[in-house]
């Protein structure tokens, strides 16, 4: 079995990198920071026109007809670029919420105690894991119209560590959310795990970008007549960053192929660690200038912290992995096979 990216997948990734370089360069990143993370609707529509949100919809439904491995590649590029907005929720809502696939609608999601990103600008909210009517499978409720307005009015803004991600607390509101205007057929467990995987892909992109930024700075910044990258301590930091990024990449890509909840948990765990620790090491390599507002390193670190606390935390992923190892240990060796039962991941771990 060949796990190398195909030529089409490489072209897809390259095309998305080129697109984001054109529509969301550093100047637009900084403009977004100055706006306090307010979404650029024209950028959202450009992503929709490029097929970012409709990537996995069937062609007959107006989508691109690709799969989760290709979606992971696009979200990796979004993570590299620090693209703001509820990208994952809107992507998963394509075909379920009107306008999401085309980028005409902004869709965010709420699950349990998690704060809600970009709630004030959302055209729909997916309430994941809401109690279904009798006889129906658990899924995600789509709040629009009056139900959405009531939900937003009852939520309260909270301070976000990421200047590009405004947050609202909707803990009590989600528990008494009004009846939804639509019921999506998405199963809550699948939604949560796919959200965790695509978030891990964003973390992977951020980890790769901070590694590149650290190596570039270490090669150009001079101290005592030599590049700082010539010093052994700096070399070790850069090597450690790469050694965290590549295993995370392998785990994320593999989980995208299998869709196995346990492998997704492992991928999220590795990607979170790579994104957070790489951003911290990158900041250290940049020295005093890395702590300044003008440098972009702190934006990667703050976004990485926020994503690590979203959907499937480190503690939640470790519990899933431990439960799977315990179950495998109780089975005969010949019985350990794909499809083993696992606990469902909670929104906040």
For 177, phi then psi, to 5°, come to -60, 140
Quick check: 80 and 271 in contact, CB under 8 A?
Answer: no
Residues in Cβ contact with 321 at an 8 Å cutoff, skipping those fewer than 6 apart: 262, 265, 266, 269
How many angstroms from the chain centroid is the CA of residue 160? 16
Q: Is the dihedral of CA 66, 70, 72, 76 positive or negative?
A: negative
Give the separation between CA 319 and CA 212, rounded to whole angstroms.
Answer: 32
Residue 24: helix, strand or coil by DSSP? coil
Closest CA to 212 of 162, 267, 285: 285
Closest CA to 82 of 248, 252, 206, 204: 206
Give the separation between CA 239 and CA 277, rounded to whole angstroms.
Answer: 12
User: In the chain, where do the E strands start and end?
Assistant: 107-110, 116-117, 124-130, 139-143, 156-158, 167-169, 182-187, 222-223, 226-227
Closest CA to 302 of 159, 120, 112: 159
C-alpha triplet 147, 151, 157: angle, nearest 5°: 155
C-alpha triplet 251, 82, 97: angle, nearest 5°: 85
CB atoms within 10 A of CB 189: 18
Count Cβ neighbours within 10 Å for each residue of 33-64 and write b for 16 or more, e otherwise.
beeebbbbeebbebbbebbbbbbbbeeeeebb
The active-site residue, picked from 194, 202, 263, 273, is 194
Query: In the annotation, is 194 catalytic?
Result: yes
Closest CA to 198 of 79, 25, 105, 322: 79
C-alpha triplet 299, 263, 197: angle, nearest 5°: 35
Strands 124-130 and 107-110: parallel
Q: So which residues are the catalytic ones? A: 194
């Amino acid at each position: 079995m060949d796990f190398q990216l195909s030529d089409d997948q490489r072209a897809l990734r390259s095309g998305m990198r080129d697109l984001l370089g054109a529509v969301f360069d550093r100047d637009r990143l900084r403009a977004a920071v100055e706006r306090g993370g307010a979404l650029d609707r024209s950028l959202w529509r450009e992503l929709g026109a490029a097929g970012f949100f409709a990537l996995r919809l069937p062609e007959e439904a107006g989508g691109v007809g690709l799969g989760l491995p290709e979606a992971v590649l696009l979200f990796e590029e979004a993570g590299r670029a620090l693209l703001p907005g509820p990208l994952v929720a809107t992507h998963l809502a394509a075909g379920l919420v009107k306008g999401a696939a085309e980028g005409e609608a902004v869709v965010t999601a709420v699950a349990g105690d998690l704060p809600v990103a970009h709630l004030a600008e959302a055209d729909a909210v997916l309430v994941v894991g809401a109690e279904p009517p009798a006889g129906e499978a658990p899924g995600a409720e789509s709040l629009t119209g009056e139900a959405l307005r009531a939900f937003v009015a009852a939520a309260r803004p909270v301070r976000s560590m990421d200047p590009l991600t405004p947050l609202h607390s909707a803990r009590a509101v989600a528990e008494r959310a009004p009846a939804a205007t639509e019921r999506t057929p998405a199963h809550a467990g699948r939604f949560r795990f796919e959200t965790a995987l695509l978030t891990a892909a964003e973390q992977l992109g951020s980890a790769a970008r901070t590694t590149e930024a650290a190596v570039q700075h270490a090669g150009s910044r001079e101290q005592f007549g030599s590049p700082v990258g010539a010093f052994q301590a700096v070399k070790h930091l850069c090597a450690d960053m790469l050694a965290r990024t590549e295993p995370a990449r392998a785990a994320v890509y593999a989980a995208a192929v299998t869709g196995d909840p346990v492998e997704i948990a492992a991928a999220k765990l590795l990607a979170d660690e790579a994104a957070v620790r790489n951003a911290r090491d990158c900041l250290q390599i940049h020295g005093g200038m890395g702590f300044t507002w003008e440098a972009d390193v702190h934006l990667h670190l703050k976004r990485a912290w926020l994503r690590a606390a979203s959907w499937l935390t480190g503690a939640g992923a470790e519990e899933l992995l431990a439960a799977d190892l315990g179950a495998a240990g109780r089975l005969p060796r010949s019985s350990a096979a794909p499809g083993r039962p696992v606990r469902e991941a909670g929104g906040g771990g």
